Amino acid sequence: MAENPSENIESPAAESPGPRLPAGAPLVRFASLGLLWLVLADGRPDSLGVGLPVMVLATWLSVRLTPPGRGAWRLTAWPAFAGYFLWRALAGSIDIAGRAMRPSRPLDPGLTRYRFKIAADRRTRVFLADAVSLLPGTLTAEVESDALVLHVVDRNAPVERDVAHLERLIGRMFGYRVPPREEAG
Question: Which residue stretches of the chain have pLDDT < 70?
Answer: 1-23, 66-72, 180-185
Q: Please give the pLDDT value at position 71.
A: 56
Structure confidence by residue, pLDDT tens digits, 115-134? 998 877 888 888 899 999 98
Q: Please give the pLDDT value at position 26.
A: 81
Q: Is the dihedral of CA 37, 42, 48, 50 positive or negative?
A: negative
Q: Please give the pLDDT value at position 76.
A: 85
Q: What is the pTM of this model?
A: 0.61
Distance CA 99, CA 173 (A): 33
Distance CA 111, CA 155 (A): 8
Q: Please give the pLDDT value at position 15.
A: 43
